Structure 1
Amino acid sequence: MSAPVPLSAVLTWDVVQLRSSVGTLDLVAGRTGAWRLRLDAVTQELSRAVCWSGPAASAAAGVLVELSTVTSGVEQSLVPSVEQLTLLFTAATSAQELAAQAFAAAAAGPVTLLDDGSLSAPPLLPGSAMAPDQLAALDAMADAGRLAVALAAAAQEQVTQVAAHARGAADALTPLRPGGPAADFADLAGPLAPDVVVLPLLPPHHTPEQAARWWSGLTSAQQYTAIAEQPAVVGGLDGVPAWARDLANRAVLEAEVQSLDTTSERHATAQAVAAQLRAQEQDGRLVQLHRLDLDQGLVGIAIGDLDAAGEVAVFVPGITTTAGDDLDGLGAAAVRIVGATEQAAPGVEAAVLVWLGYRTPGLLTAPFPFAAERGGRALDRALDGLAAARPGPAAARTTVVAHSYGTTVVDHAADEDGALAADAVVLLGSPGVSEWTAGGLEVDEVYDAASPADPVSYVSWFGQNTWMPLWGSEGLPTDITQWHTEYLDADRPTLEAIGEVVAGTR
């Protein structure tokens, strides 16, 4: 469109068909994103080896990653191209309307408007011998000529915009090129990305929400590259989906299990985690390694799928709990919570995250809040990460189930900036919290279980007794003989009630 476009040609533009074509392309771009999500979901299923495993499954997963990479590249080109074409349609419509108005103004003169926007001849000059009506007619012709020329110039400005947006739409598609009938992945993906997968930088001091946006902006190839090259980073990144953290953390775990240094505490922790994963998977359960910091002994193991479960519980244990010694008991408790939840609401999909994301205090340091303060910050961030990884309609109902000193951790998590990213909190055998009322925990539902046989729930060491009626929690049933460590036992009534809370049926 380097040469001026004749105004009469602008009148013939089929802007209705153009609008339809742009709308169709916009629909294709939108569906491309949806197809990428479906491809990624199938890839994740194959990577978990739930339905298919072995070399063929690995090859199939690789093909799906390739397809997702191409799909992402196509989407990234189509979206800006459609944006430019939408602007092109607007400019074309305006150009056509202005051209029609220009010719109409010229006809009213009457004057003759040429295709280049000029008049065929300048208007006649008024003479001294002309009658008033002749002078008025000449003035009208002159006015019509000036208006027609101005409208024609405005139409040509819009034509220039049409050309600019056409170039913009084409430039956005530059990474794409037509593939021949025998095009393979290299033919399709070659123009879309360099040979080396480059990862966009994660913002420094990022929030879980920023991490989630960063991750969702990566192609599948970039995501798997990040997992392979930086497993410790991805595995500890709040805001990243659980499937990716699981793959990354298992890579870190496997490296430590294979380490020749078998005497370190981190190796002992790795062995305990690996044993727990094996035990749960041998029983046919889906397990995700959501957190793994072997240097600090921090572990998060989920029974169920944190990315898909409609009801999620985060179990926060209390003092002297360690990954090296207590994963068997914690895993069994998580399994019982899942069972109680699914019994309370048959058909639901539940997941329970055993969260050892803080170093629990020993007996000597338990009377002090320092571990709870550090744990509260970590728990608040972990909950934000779970929410950020599943935004909008995909969000799960999240319940924090805290036991003993873990209730103090929840107390401090609620003190962090922003509301606690949970729907309900269950406090089991709490030694007291600093909040004056249940509303201080920033969730809609607060439940408490305190057995008469549990002295810890009566000491109010860290603040208010959470079972007091004025504090505002809803009490859960206990047995009169129920000890401090028995709230999640299968033969106690508290477990069934917790399942109802997690399911949202209580």
Structure 2
Amino acid sequence: MRRYTRTLVASALAVTVVAGTAGWASGSAQRAVTGPPVGAEAWIADGLPDPERTSPSEVAAFFRDMGPARQRELVRAHPSVVGNLDGVPPELRYEANALALGGRYAGRQVLAFDPRGRGQIALVSGNLTTAEHVAVVVPGSDIDSGNLRPLTDMADALRRATDSRTAGSRTAGSHAADSRTAVIAWAGYTTPVGVGLDAAAGDLAEAGAERLTRLTDGLAAVGAPAPSLFCHSYGSVVCGLAAHDLKAKDLVVFGSPGMRAANVGELGTSARVWAAKDPSDWIDRVPNVSFAGLGHGADPTEPAFGARRVPADDARGHNGYFASGTQSLRTFAAIARGDVR
């Protein structure tokens, strides 16, 4: 009985510490969107492979084995499935999502769109088919298809920086622009709303990790380079939980509450792991604890964690890492371009 009482008290203290620090007290409970895309039943009824049981590499092989006419027939008949199926060639996914969205997000290359819940979406800047480098920006709380601006601002800033001669470690005489990097703004999971218990727990991150893993599997299946992932705030929890399965060359976390690992070794990844935190980021006031399913563990910027440190002293606040002219943005761009070893 005494041990049971101590456990209850410890759990209550953990909730108080995590939920009562730095504003971790507001927010509403969210339910993760999981399962196959909308329209999967009709797709399966037409004798097509089950989206949930077919791997991205199998999807890619399935589409390679059919001619262009049949591919476009499937785009027209099942746009909501084709547009969300990792392993389908990107151009077909853009076409399918344009049909499903009916002009919404016109001018953007929509790699995925799921209308369920608050809405999930992935937007691509650049050419995934020809890109030599791919970057994926994974956001934290409050991002969904109706609130994309913070995410697209980060992704657009990164794309501009990778295209700029002054953004990274270019030598004299090198060309002024580098359009070989494609950037994906990936709002592909159910994010927490606010910074309440959802943000302190790992449930949404676990569901997001499965979707993120499938995204990188899909990129590999269509011949895209292994991406560099830029994981902000709660997005770094997603990246940490997915790390051991991700086909990625870099994991870059910034404004991170933790990755649910004690150190880089526990992530189980061959990717290079980078971490940034600026001195004015409120995340520094969130305790790096992990107890009873709450809290996300060690600070990835601590030397003992073993990540490579990204300079961020001139960034400002929790959302300032992509501000023009900052050391963090210059370093992010260099990582995305493969300019740093």
Aligned to 1:407: 236
Amino acid at match of 1:251: L
Task: Note the alpha carbon deviations across 1:289-344, whole angstroms, 9 max, x for none.
Answer: 0010112301001111122211111110001122212x233223212111212233
Aligned partner of 1:224 in structure 2 is 72
**TM-score, L = length of structure 1:** 0.52
**In 1: Cα distance, 2:47 partner to 2:132 partner:** 31
Counterpart in the other structure of 2:150: 329
Q: What's 2:253 paired with?
A: 427
Task: Confirm whether residue 241 of structure 1 aligns to residue 62 of structure 2.
Answer: no
Rounded Cα–Cα distance in structure 1 between residues aligned with 2:241 and 2:207: 8
Q: Residues 457, 212 of structure 1: CA spacing in aligned structure 2 closer, same or farther, 3 A cutoff? A: farther
The AA in structure 2 aligned to 1:499 is A
**Which residue in the other structure is 2:48 paired with?**
201
The gaps in structure 2 that reach 5 residues or longer are 1-45, 171-176, 289-294
The equivalences for 1:163-174 within 5 A come to none
Q: 1-side partners of 2:85 and 2:215: how far apart?
A: 9
For the residues of structure 2 that align with 1:473 and 1:323, how far apart are their CA atoms? 32
Q: Distance in 1 between matches of 2:272 and 2:136?
A: 15
Instruction: Give the Cα–Cα distance (whole angstroms) in 1 for the partners of residues 69 and 259 of structure 2.
Output: 46
Relative to structure 1, the CA distance from residue 333 to residue 443 in structure 2 (aligned partners, 3 Å threshold; closer, same or farther) is: same
Q: 1:201 offset after TM fit, Å?
A: 3.1
Alignment partner, residue 32 of structure 2: none
2:124 corresponds, among 302, 324, 330, to: 302
**Within 2, Cα distance between the matches of 1:333 and 1:400?**
13
- Matched with 2:303 is 469
* Structure label with greater radius of gyration: 1
Map 1:314-393 → 2, pairs under 5 A: 314-325=136-147, 327-343=148-164, 344=168, 346-363=177-194, 364=196, 365-390=198-223
Shift of residue 203, structure 1, vs aligned partner: 5.4
Distance 2:300 2:50 in 1: 40
Q: Is the helix fraction higher in 1 or 2?
A: 1
Q: Whose relative contact order is higher, 1 or 2, with alpha carbons under 8 Å and at least 6 apart? A: 2
2:281 maps to amino acid: D
Q: Does 1:482 align with 2:316?
A: yes
Offset at residue 236 of structure 1 (A): 0.8
Cα offsets for 1:224-272 (capped at 9, x unmatched): 1110111111011011111111100110000xx6xxxxxxxxxxxxxxx
Structure 2 residue aligned with 1:154: none
What is the aligned partner in structure 2 of residue 456 from structure 1? 283
Count of matched residue positions in the alignment of Structure 1 and Structure 2: 273
Quick one: structure 1 residues 225 and 318, their matched pair in 2 at CA, closer, same or farther if it must change by over 3 Å?
same
Unaligned runs of 5+ in 1: 1-198, 258-273, 282-286
Q: Distance in 2 between matches of 1:314 and 1:347?
A: 17
Cα distance, 1:464 vs structure 2: 1.2
Over 3 Å counting, the alpha-carbon distance change for 1:441 and 1:493 in structure 2 is farther
Task: Select the residue among 496, 500, 506 that pairs with 2:330.
Answer: 496
| Residue 446 (structure 1) aligns with | 273
2:29: which partner in 1?
none
The code of the aligned residue for 2:122 comes to G
* Residue type of the alignment partner of 2:210: R
Q: Distance in 2 between matches of 1:360 and 1:443?
A: 26
Kept in 2, the 8 Å contact 1:425–1:443? The answer is no
